């Protein structure tokens, strides 16, 4: 049926439709029980929204942690096609994975142990974030071994007190960079820092970090080290603080369509990940019967339930048990009883609502059709949506849709 309605013989044999056909036909053979569907058109939309916020500043799409579990290669391509200029990752391995996929855009890696394979990063033209003299010297040795200069970006600590060169270390890093620059082994490209309270845009700590950042830039310039660019803003600052944009912004979560400051709205972003599962079983449960381990839910009347084959091993937190809904058969229906390792149960009501085995339930998504969003899970659990989307795993199979503009 699918091959009859799509394909090269259609009157408009565009590549987009052909691509759609391939995706659908593949899916029809092997639809997984649980999926994380990633909408690459939403990624493109979100990057365009962020570019509008960024004004003259460039956008570095942060694609660390496999693009917040959305698929680093696919997301990077979609983000670059939508106008992101650079990519940011945590480790050298993450950066090399993008290079191996043929991505040529500038990539910055910012968190590595000092024995990391800096030589591989230099050879692949990956920019390395440095926060200490020890790291810098390791990078310089690698550059000598490779026979090419390393390009580095200084990560300066302006108050997060996590990664970044401390106020004591920073001048030493600068001095060492001057020396290595003369030697020709290391080239400084940029200076950056990371904010501690960006999701509270008017917190004075944000302003303090901005001031310290300006001081750090001035200290570098005083030594003759003039960075090509400087950058400070994450998603939250990108959409709330135009004065934090500098030469480039580094949004992560907003690229995936999740609001960096939920109290202030959605900023026109579209959630890119939808978590779905297909009903494995529909059955009757008599009034007074308990459902799932511990019998925490007792049927108040004769009812019909649906079993969804996805559990805490797949990223549905056990702590959500009895506290969430799914979109199934067109409406929100309550999940009942405990979430187990592999499954949980949904109450369909006495008439079963017409739900059948094989029907698809949306666990979270855009919220457009009235369904739940990752934000809802986060609110219920007292955590942040970052942890929800990065947590989908186990037997959850990722599938990308859209993104024709990148192919
Ligand atoms: C993760 C990260 C970002 C992106 O943060 P979001 O809050 O997801 O926008 C930016 N910069 C650095 C250094 C990061 O580690």
Q: What is the pLDDT of residues 201-253, one digit of tens each?
A: 999 999 999 999 999 999 999 999 999 999 999 999 999 999 999 999 999 99
| pLDDT above 50 (res 198) | yes
Q: If you average pLDDT over residues 175-181, what whole number do you get? A: 98
Q: How far is the CA of 142 from the centre of ligand 1 (A)?
A: 27
What's the pLDDT tens digit per position in 77-132?
999 999 999 999 999 999 999 999 999 999 999 999 999 999 999 999 999 999 99
> What is the predicted pLDDT for the residue at 276?
98
**256 is a catalytic site residue:** no
Q: Residue 31: its pLDDT value, please?
A: 81
Of the chain, the percentage scoring pLDDT greater than 90 comes to 91
385 CB under 6 A from ligand 1?
no
pLDDT at 405: 63
Report whether residue 129 contacts ligand 1, using a CB cutoff of 6 Å. no
**Rounded Cα distance, 386 and 319, in Å:** 17
Catalytic residue (one of 64, 68, 312, 386): 64
Q: What is the average pLDDT value for the chain, to the nearest integer?
A: 93
Q: What is the pLDDT of residue 18?
A: 44
Question: At CB < 8 A and 24+ separation, what contacts does 170-179 make?
Answer: 170/216, 170/219, 171/219, 172/133, 173/130, 173/131, 173/132, 173/133, 173/136, 174/219, 174/220, 174/223, 174/225, 175/223, 176/133, 176/136, 176/137, 177/136, 177/152, 177/225, 178/223, 178/224, 178/225
Tokens of 73: 């290669």
Mean pLDDT for the stretch of residues 312-325: 98
**Domain boundaries in the chain?**
40-257, 273-401
- Does any ligand 1 atom lie closer than 6 A to the CB of residue 46? no
Ligand 1 pocket residue status of 373, Cβ below 6 Å: no
Evaluate: CB of 47 within 6 angstroms of ligand 1. no
d(CA 178, CA 281): 67
Annotated active-site residue in 144, 221, 293, 323: 293
Question: What's the average model confidence in pLDDT over 281-306?
Answer: 98
Q: Nearest residue CA, atom 1 of ligand 1?
A: 252
Distance CA 25, CA 32 (A): 13
| Confidence (pLDDT) at 25 | 45
| Res 6: pLDDT | 31
CATH 3.20.20.10 fits 40-257, yes or no: yes
Does 9 or 352 have the greater pLDDT score?
A: 352
248 is in an annotated binding site: no
Give the homologous superfamily in CATH for domain 273-401.
Answer: Lyase, Ornithine Decarboxylase; Chain A, domain 1 (2.40.37.10)
Looking at residue 159, its pLDDT comes to 94
Pocket test of ligand 1: the residue of 43, 47, 50, 62 to mutate, having most ligand atoms within 8 Å of its CB, is 62
**C-alpha of residue 398 to centroid of ligand 1, in Å:** 23
Instruction: Give the tens place of pLDDT for each residue, 340-398.
Output: 999 999 999 999 999 999 999 999 999 999 999 999 999 999 999 999 999 999 999 99
Q: Do domains 40-257 and 273-401 have the same CATH topology?
A: no
Query: What's the confidence (pLDDT) of residue 83?
Result: 98
The pLDDT tens digits for 329-343 are 999 999 999 999 999
For the chain, give the percent of residues with pLDDT over 70.
Answer: 92
């Amino acid at each position: 049926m699918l091959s009859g309605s799509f394909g090269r013989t259609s009157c408009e044999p565009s590549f987009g439709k052909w691509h759609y056909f391939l995706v659908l036909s593949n899916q029809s053979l092997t639809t997984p029980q649980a999926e994380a569907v990633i909408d690459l058109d939403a990624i493109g939309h979100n990057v365009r929204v962020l570019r509008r916020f960024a004004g003259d500043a460039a956008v570095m799409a942060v694609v660390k942690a496999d693009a917040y579990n959305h698929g680093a290669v696919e997301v990077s391509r979609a983000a670059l096609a939508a106008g992101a200029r650079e990519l940011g990752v945590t480790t050298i391995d993450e950066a090399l994975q993008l290079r191996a996929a043929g991505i040529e855009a500038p990539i910055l890696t910012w968190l590595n142990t000092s024995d990391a394979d800096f030589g591989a990063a230099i050879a692949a033209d990956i920019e390395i974030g440095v926060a200490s003299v020890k790291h810098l010297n390791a990078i310089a040795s690698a550059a000598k071994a490779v026979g090419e200069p390393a390009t580095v970006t200084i990560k300066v600590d302006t108050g997060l007190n996590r990664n970044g060169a401390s106020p004591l270390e920073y001048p030493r890093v600068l001095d060492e960079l001057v020396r290595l620059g003369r030697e020709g082994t290391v080239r400084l490209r940029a200076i950056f820092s990371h904010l501690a309270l960006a999701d509270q845009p008017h917190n004075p700590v944000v302003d303090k970090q901005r001031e310290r950042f300006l001081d750090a830039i001035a200290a570098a310039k005083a030594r003759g080290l003039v960075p090509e660019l400087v950058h400070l803003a994450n998603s939250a600052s990108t959409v709330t603080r135009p004065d934090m944009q500098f030469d480039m912004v580094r949004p992560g979560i907003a690229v995936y369509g999740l609001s960096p400051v939920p109290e202030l709205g959605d900023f026109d972003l579209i959630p890119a990940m939808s978590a779905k599962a297909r009903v494995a079983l529909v059955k009757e449960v008599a009034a007074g019967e308990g459902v799932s381990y511990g019998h925490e839910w007792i049927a108040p009347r004769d009812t019909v339930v649906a079993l969804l084959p996805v559990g805490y091993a797949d990223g549905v937190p056990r702590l959500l048990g009895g506290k969430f809904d799914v979109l199934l058969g067109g409406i929100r229906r309550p999940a009942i009883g405990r979430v187990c390792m592999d499954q949980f149960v949904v109450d369909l009501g006495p008439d079963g609502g017409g739900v059948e085995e094989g029907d698809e339930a949306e666990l979270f998504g855009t919220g457009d059709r009235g369904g739940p969003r990752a934000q809802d899970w986060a609110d219920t659990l007292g955590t942040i949506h970052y942890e929800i989307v990065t947590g989908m795993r186990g037997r959850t199979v990722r599938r990308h849709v859209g993104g024709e503009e990148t192919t």
